[in-house]
Amino acid sequence: MTERFVAAADEWAEARLEERETALETKAEQALLEIEYLVSGRTEVSFDVDAEAGRIDYAPSDELSRLLSAQADDTGLDEATILRLHVDLFVGAFPGDDDRPPNAPPV
């Protein structure tokens, strides 16, 4: 997880009065699901968040794996870095400001 990812999750947690770990999982699911949907059409993803280690473990679909491999070949970056960049791109795409609980303090 990058600083950008964690900051987005912290913002999400604060706005929804959620625990940080729950927010990390939510943001990971949102980003991974959006990426997979765009590439493979998948509407479900399975992953593990290790908050202490600051990592998300995810096995991409075959379609996403092929895209990551091609992008890795084009850029010289490894596939995990490419996926991390995509996740960082999408982590802020779902601010959900209108989803705040009614008892949430102003931000």
Buried b (16+ CB within 10 A) or exposed e, 36-64: beebbebeebeeebebeeeebebebeeeb
75 contacts: CB under 8 Å, gap ≥ 6: 82
pTM for the structure as a whole: 0.83
Residue 23 or 100, more confident = 23
Give the list of residues 6+ apart from residue 56 with CB closer than 8 angstroms, or none: 1, 28, 32, 47, 48, 49, 50, 87
pLDDT for position 92: 82
Q: What is the pLDDT of residue 93?
A: 79
Measured between alpha carbons, how far is 91 from 99 in angstroms, rounded to an integer? 16
Q: Tell whether the model's pLDDT for residue 21 goes beyond 70.
A: yes
Mean pLDDT of 19-27: 94
Q: Hey, where are the domains in the chain?
A: 3-94
- Please report which confidence band the pLDDT of residue 66 belongs to, taking 50, 70 and 90 as the band edges: very high
The residue-averaged pLDDT of 40-49 equals 95
Tens digits of residue pLDDT in 70-82: 999 999 999 999 9
CA distance 68 to 62: 10
Length of the chain in terms of residues written: 107
Residue 3 pLDDT greater than 90, yes or no: yes
